[in-house]
Structure 1
Amino acid sequence: MLKLSQLSDILELQHKCEQHDGITLKLNWDILRHRSPGIQEDFFGYEDGKLVSFLALYGFGRNIEVCGMTDPQYRQQGRFSQLWEQAVQSPAIKRMNRILFNTPHRSVTGQQWVHNRHAKLDSTEYSMKLEHGEHSLLGQSAGTEIAQLRQFQEEDTDLWARLDADAFGIPEFSTIAALANPSRSLTKVMLVIEHGGLAVGKIEIDRQDEHSWIYGFVVDPVLRGHGIGRSALRQVALQEHARGSHVWLDVSATNPRALHLYESCGFVQQDIQDYYEYELPQTSNDLSNMK
């Protein structure tokens, strides 16, 4: 588990890098704040007591995502590469099937670092923010909704796991293990979507200061296209806006149906995240084991 001083250092460095580069770093703060003890997943580079480089590993099912940053004044010195050399020795890396580098599309140094490792573009994701506009959910009054929302309960675990597996390819056992983790985030709001008295979907909210991130949003495939998802999204957006929060979400560029839904609700693209698949070079031990 990370110390409060480390979290503060990460946040300060993130703000500095984002302002300098005009980007948004996806550091998954809900995960950072609630790391499980035992396996090192965060790597720090300090200079005279100041954090100048940071790299984090995030496990999602059998994939592991890599994200990080270096203070603009300390770049081109190999500092991030030094952290990566430490990270590749971590059991967190070695037990995963795929490694994905998460890099802001507009990050010149980040893109250069990834390309120098001959990683291949796997997918692209848009970060979208809910804005005021003619069709925005913010201009709509709450009326009779066809979706009802309630808090997640332990008996919803199997539903949660099934929906995550269907929509995001996360193995059910991984979701079940994550839900059983006692350090599960207190900033995370987990809601079950109901329709006609039946649980038919899920939606989660991660509250980060004045920002609310919607994610894990799924409606059962057989009930999509009937307005249930839009109804649930509208309720969550109005609820978070009423709290004084800016409402955000991420959507894959290869999911035109979801992208159209979010755009029609008033979400506007703000940033782009690129995911690159990276294959670790095989060591002599790996090659001998294959013989």
Structure 2
Amino acid sequence: MLKLSQLSDILELQHTCEQHDGITLKLNWDMLKHRSPGMQEDFFSYEEGKLVSFLALYGFGRKIEVCGMTHPEYRRQGHFSRLWQQAIGSEAITRMNRVLFNTPHNSIAGQQWVQSHHARLDSTEYSMKLEHGEHSLLGQFEGKEIAQLRRFREEDTDLWARLDADAFGISEFSTIAALASPSRSLTKIMLVIEHSGLAVGKIEIDRQDEHSWIYGFAVDPALRGHGIGRSALRQVALQEHARGNHVWLDVSATNPRALHLYESCGFVQQDIQDYYEYELPQT
């Protein structure tokens, strides 16, 4: 579990880097705030009491994502590379079979560092924000919603695991273990999508200040294309908008079906994140 002072230092460094570089860093704050005890997943470099470089590991099943940043005034001094050398030998990485570096598409420093480590571009992800417009989910809707939403219950675990495996390639075992973990986020809202009385999908909401991020959105493959997902998405968007929050989500550039759905719902691309696969040294 990270200390409040560490979280504050990370946030301050993030704001400095984002303003200087004109980028958006994906630091998965929901995960940072709820780290599991006993596993080192965060690495810090301080100079005279000031955080100048930070590297974080985020596990998703047997895959781990690496993200971080270095203060503009302290770059090219080896801070981030030293953190990576600490991280690469940690248990959090050695138990994984896949490592992905995450860096904003427009981050010159991030892209240069990744390329210096001979990583291969694996995928690209768009961050999208819901805007007002002719077809926006925030517009008036006079029909009847065909999806109903309710809170996740323990008996939904198997459904959750199956949908995660189908939509995101996360093993059912990993999802079940994460749901059973005592460190599971209590701030993330987990909703089950129902249609005609049957549980057919899932959607998660993570509120960060005035922003609401939608995660883990999936509908049973047999029922896609019938408007169930759009109905659920609209209800969540209106709920979060009523709170005064901006609604965001991420979508893979290689998922044209989802990308088309979100664009048709009024989501507009704001940022691009690149993921590079790193081949771990053979031991």
Look up the match of 1:188. 188
- Corresponding residue number in structure 2 for 1:223: 223
User: Which residues in structure 2 correspond to 1:99-138 (within 5 Å)?
Assistant: 99-138=99-138
Instruction: Please give the residue correspondences for 1:4-83 in structure 2 after superposition, counting only pairs within 5 Å.
Output: 4-83=4-83
Aligned position for 2:89: 89
Question: Structure 1, residues 198-217: CA drift from partner, whole Å, max 9, x if none?
Answer: 00000000111111100100
The match for 2:165 is 165
The SS at the match of 2:236 is helix
- 1:280, CA displacement in angstroms? 1.8
Letter in structure 2 aligned against 1:2:
L
Aligned to 1:289: none
Write the distance in 2 (CA, Å) between the matches of 1:142 and 1:201.
Answer: 23
Q: CA deviation at 1:142?
A: 6.6
Q: Which residue of 2 aligns with 1:235?
A: 235
CA distance in 1, matches of 2:148, 2:252: 26
Secondary structure in 1 matching 2:128: strand
Q: Which residue of structure 1 aligns with residue 153 of structure 2?
A: 153
Q: Distance in 2 between matches of 1:231 and 1:180?
A: 29
Deviation at 1:139, TM superposition (A): 1.6
Aligned Cα root-mean-square deviation (Å): 0.9
Which one is further off, 168-177 or 218-227?
Answer: 168-177
Aligned length: 283
2:9 aligned with 1:3? no
The 3 A distance-change label for structure 1 pair 142 and 48 is farther
Please give the alpha-carbon distance, in whole angstroms, between the structure 2 residues aligned to 1:185 and 1:249.
18
Unaligned runs of 5+ in 1: 287-291
Q: Which whole-Å CA distance do the structure 2 matches of 1:160 and 1:125 have between them?
A: 23
- 1:178 counterpart residue number: 178
Q: CA deviation at 1:143?
A: 4.7
Does the 8 Å contact 1:142/1:235 carry over to 2? Answer: no
- Amino acid paired to 2:167: A
How far is the alpha carbon of 1:185 from its aligned partner? 1.3
Aligned to 2:272: 272
Report the secondary structure of 2:138's partner residue.
helix
SS in 1 for 2:259: helix
Q: Distance in 2 between matches of 1:88 and 1:183?
A: 24
Report runs of 4+ in structure 1 exceeding 2 Å deviation: 140-143
Q: Whole-Å Cα distance in 2 between the matches of residues 281 and 156 of structure 1?
A: 39
% same residue = 87
Q: What amino acid sits opposite 1:82 in the alignment?
A: R
In 2, the alpha carbon distance for the partners of 1:280 and 1:185 equals 30
The one-character-per-residue Cα deviations of 1:217-269 (angstroms, maximum 9, x if unpaired) are 00000000000000000000000011111100000000000000000111000
- Paired with 2:181 and 2:281, the residues of 1 have a C-alpha distance of 33
Q: Which moved more, 1:124-133 or 1:135-144?
A: 135-144
Shift of 1:141: 3.9
* Cα deviation digits, residues 129-150 of structure 1 (max 9, x gap): 0011111111234752000000
**TM-score, normalised relative to structure 2:** 0.98
The answer on whether the counterparts of 1:57 and 1:67 sit within 8 Å (CA) in structure 2 is yes
1:140 is matched with: 140
Structure 2: gaps spanning 5 or more residues: none
Secondary structure of 2:203's counterpart equals strand
Deviations, residues 145-170 of structure 1 (Å, cap 9, x unaligned)? 00000000010001000100111111
Structure-2 separation of matches of 1:139 and 1:22: 31
Q: Is 2:235 the partner of 1:197? A: no
Which residue identity is paired with 2:270?
Q
1:80-99 per-position Cα deviation (integer Å, ceiling 9, x unaligned): 00100000010111010100
Q: SS of the counterpart of 1:200? A: strand
Aligned mates of 1:15, 1:140 — CA distance in 2:
36
> Equivalent residue of 1:258, what SS?
helix
Paired with 1:228 and 1:263, the residues of 2 have a C-alpha distance of: 16
Tell me how far apart the structure 2 counterparts of residues 65 and 184 of structure 1 sit (CA, whole Å).
Answer: 18
Q: Deviations over 1:58-86 (max 9, x none)?
A: 01011000000001111111110010000
Q: How does 1:236-275 map to 2 (within 5 A)?
A: 236-275=236-275
